[in-house]
Amino acid sequence: MTDSSKTATLTIDGTSYDLPLLSPTAGPNVIDIRKLYAQAGVFTYDPGYTSTASCDSTITYIDGAKGELLHRGYPIDQLAEKSHYLEVCYLLLYDNLPTAAELEAFEATITRHTMIHEQMHNFFRGFRRDAHPMATMVGVVGAMSAFYHDSTDISDPRQREIASHRMIAKMPTIAAMAYKYSIGQPFVYPRNDLDYASNFLHMCFAVPAEQYEVDPILSRAMDRIFILHADHEQNASTSTVRLASSSGANPFACIAAGIACLWGPAHGGANQACLEMLKEIGSVDRIPEFIARAKDKDDPFRLMGFGHRVYKNFDPRAKVMKQSADEVLDLLGIENNPVLQVAKELEKQALDDPYFAEKKLFPNVDFYSGIILEAMGFPTSMFTPIFALSRTVGWISQWKEQLSDPAHKIGRPRQLYLGETARKYVDVEDR
Ligand code: CMC
CA atoms of 415 and 300, how far apart (whole Å):
28
**Ligand 1 center to 67 CA (angstroms):** 16
Q: Are 93 and 397 in contact (CB under 8 A)?
A: yes
Ligand 1 atom at minimal distance to the Cα of residue 269: 52
Write out pLDDT tens, residues 190-242. Answer: 999 999 999 999 999 999 999 999 999 899 999 999 999 999 999 999 999 99
3-state class (DSSP) for residue 258: helix
Residue 266 Cα to ligand 1 middle (Å):
8
User: Exposed (0-12), middle (13-18) or buried (19+): which is 168, by Cβ within 10 Å?
Assistant: buried
The pLDDT tens digits of the residues spanning 21-80 come to 999 999 999 999 999 999 999 999 999 999 999 999 999 999 999 999 999 999 999 999
Question: What's the CA gap between 325 and 315, in Å, rounded?
Answer: 15
- Whether residue 335 has pLDDT greater than 80: no
Q: Is 365 in the pocket of ligand 1 (CB under 6 A)?
A: yes
Give the per-residue pLDDT at 1. Answer: 61
Q: What is the DSSP letter of 299?
A: S
Q: Kindly tell me if the per-residue pLDDT of 5 is higher than 80.
A: no
Q: What pLDDT was estimated at residue 395?
A: 98
**Which residue has its alpha carbon closest to ligand 1 atom 9?**
307
Beta pairing partners, 19? 8
Task: Please report the pLDDT score of residue 2 as a whole number.
Answer: 53
- The predicted pLDDT at position 326 comes to 85
Q: Catalytic pick from 223, 229, 308, 315?
A: 308
Average pLDDT over residues 8-19: 97
Question: What tens digit of pLDDT does each residue of 397-426 get?
Answer: 999 999 999 888 999 999 999 999 999 999
Q: Are 277 and 304 in contact (CB under 8 A)?
A: yes
Question: Cβ(84)–Cβ(105) under 8 Å?
Answer: no
pTM: 0.93
Q: Is 241 in the pocket of ligand 1 (CB under 6 A)?
A: no
| 312 Cβ below 6 A of ligand 1 | no
Q: Whose CA is nearest to atom 41 of ligand 1?
A: 304
C-alpha span between 263 and 59 (Å, rounded):
23
Please state the rounded mean pLDDT for residues 244-250: 96
Q: What is the pLDDT of residues 89-113, one digit of tens each?
A: 999 999 999 999 999 999 999 999 9
Q: Which of 69, 229, 308, 390 to mutate to test the pocket of ligand 1 (most atoms within 8 A of CB)?
A: 308
Q: What is the C-alpha to C-alpha distance for residues 194 and 130, in angstroms, rounded to an integer?
A: 30
Which atom from ligand 1 is nearest to the alpha carbon of 387?
52
Give the Å distance between the CA of 359 and the centre of ligand 1: 9
| Of 364, 367, 383, 387, best ligand 1 pocket probe by most atoms within 8 Å of the beta carbon | 364
> DSSP letters along 109-175, please?
HHHHT-S--GGGHHHHHHS-TT--HHHHHHHHHHHGGGT-GGG--TT-HHHHHHHHHHHHHHHHHHH
366 is catalytic: yes
* CB 357 less than 6 A from any atom of ligand 1: no
* 370, containing H or E segment: helix 366-376
The helix (H) or strand (E) run that includes residue 78 is: helix 76-82
Region of residue 330 (left: phi > 0; alpha: psi -120 to 50; beta: else): alpha
CB 5 within 8 A of CB 13: no
20 Cα: distance to centroid of ligand 1 (angstroms): 32
Q: Each residue of 281-303: pLDDT tens digit?
A: 999 999 999 999 999 999 999 99
Under the banding of pLDDT at 50, 70 and 90, the label for residue 340 is confident
User: Is 173:114 a contact under the CB 8 Å cutoff?
Assistant: yes
Q: What is the mean pLDDT of residues 148-155?
A: 87
Q: How far is the CA of 294 from the centre of ligand 1 (A)?
A: 10
Conformational region of residue 185, where left means phi above 0, alpha means psi within -120 to 50, and beta covers everything else: beta
Return mean pLDDT, the chain: 94
Strand order in the sheet with 68-71: 60-63, 68-71, 74-75
What is the C-alpha separation between 404 and 189, in angstroms, rounded? 34
**308 carries an active-site annotation:** yes
Say yes or no: CB of residue 307 within 6 Å of ligand 1. Answer: yes
Calculate how far, in angstroms, residue 307's C-alpha sits from the geometric centre of ligand 1: 5
The predicted-structure confidence for 153-185, as pLDDT tens digits, reads as follows 898 999 999 999 999 999 999 999 999 999 999
- Ligand 1 atom at minimum distance from 307 CA: 37
